């Protein structure tokens, strides 16, 4: 547990660790929270940053778009040698998401995946519902092939954002779970590039848990699900 640490030095330390590690370097899992900061991924577009105000915007080399980090959010940075772990990037992302889903389940909350939109979502008005989400609608492209329709987040809100980087088969960046936050800064961006996407935390959906307890549980689930 690293506690509350500034984003930029942590980002630099992740890069340095990954650049200098070798086949014998043990994997690490950093758990922390950050002072208010917006981070922009490689796919980020300036128009998704609406009114950042006094909150700094930091460009990063992770995948994805714009997101917000702030106090009351558990941020996990797994630094895994995927070659040694024995699985590929797609499964790595699935395992991270599963760790979040199982963390939420401990609090009676059902986490959902949305195809094409990494991260974990909940039904804020019925967070314990196990009902399956509607299948992603499909439309036909001009050439006759199937293509996904725009994503519909009706009835859903994002509770965990995911963005990773893989360098020399080793991962950094990671996942952020909203526990008990000031959610207002999310309204100043299009979270993960989706205009109007609602963002919630555990406290918003009726779960009262401290940062340390949530961080401890998420770290244990990540250690379990990211094991070789």
Instruction: Measure the CA–CA gap between 119 and 190, rounded to whole angstroms.
Output: 15
Q: Is residue 142 part of a domain?
A: no
pLDDT at 198: 96
Confidence of residue 149 (pLDDT cuts 50, 70, 90): low
Instruction: Measure the CA–CA gap between 17 and 2, rounded to whole angstroms.
Output: 16
Among residues 156, 159, 164, 192, the one annotated as catalytic is 192
Q: Is residue 190 part of a domain?
A: yes
Q: Is residue 170 part of a domain?
A: yes
Exposure letters 81-117 (e unless 16+ CB within 10 A, then b): bbeebeeeeeebbebbbbbbbbbbeebebbbbbbeeb
The CATH number that applies at residue 207 is 3.30.930.10
Extract the tokens encoding 86.
Answer: 């024995």
In this prediction the pTM is 0.93
Q: How many domains does the chain have?
A: 1
For tokens 């002072």, the residue is 35
Residue spans of alpha helices (H) in 123-169: none
Which residue from 32, 37, 29, 14 is spatially nearest to 215, judged by alpha carbons? 32
Indicate if the pLDDT at residue 134 is higher than 90.
no
Q: Is residue 84 part of a domain?
A: yes
C-beta of residue 78 within 8 angstroms of C-beta of residue 50: no
pLDDT at 153: 87
Q: What mean pLDDT value characterizes the chain? A: 93
Q: Is residue 141 part of a domain?
A: no
Instruction: Measure the CA–CA gap between 181 and 194, rounded to whole angstroms.
Output: 20
Assess whether 192 carries a catalytic annotation: yes
Q: Is residue 157 part of a domain?
A: yes
Residue 60 lies in domain: 3-130+152-225
Q: Is residue 137 part of a domain?
A: no
Q: Is residue 136 part of a domain?
A: no
């Amino acid at each position: 547990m690293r506690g509350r640490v500034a984003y930029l030095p942590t980002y630099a330390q992740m890069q340095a660790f990954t650049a200098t590690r070798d086949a014998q370097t043990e994997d690490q899992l950093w758990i922390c929270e950050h002072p208010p900061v917006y981070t922009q991924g490689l796919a980020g577009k300036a128009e998704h940053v609406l009114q950042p105000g006094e909150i700094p915007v930091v460009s990063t080399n992770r995948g994805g778009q714009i997101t917000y980090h702030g106090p009351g959010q558990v941020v996990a940075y797994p630094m895994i040698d995927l070659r040694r772990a024995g699985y590929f990037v797609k499964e790595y992302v699935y395992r991270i998401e599963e760790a979040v889903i199982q963390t939420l389940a401990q609090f009676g909350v059902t986490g959902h995946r949305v195809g094409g939109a990494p991260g974990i979502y909940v039904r804020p008005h019925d967070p314990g519902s196990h009902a399956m989400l509607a299948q992603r609608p499909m439309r036909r492209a001009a050439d006759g092939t199937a293509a996904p329709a725009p994503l519909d987040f009706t009835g859903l809100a994002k509770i965990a954002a995911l963005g990773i980087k893989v360098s020399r088969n080793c991962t950094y960046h990671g996942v952020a779970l909203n526990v008990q936050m000031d959610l207002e800064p999310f309204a100043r961006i299009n979270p993960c590039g989706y205009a109007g996407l609602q963002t919630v935390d555990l406290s918003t959906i009726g779960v009262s848990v401290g940062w340390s307890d949530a961080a401890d549980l998420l770290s244990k689930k990540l250690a379990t699900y990211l094991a070789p």
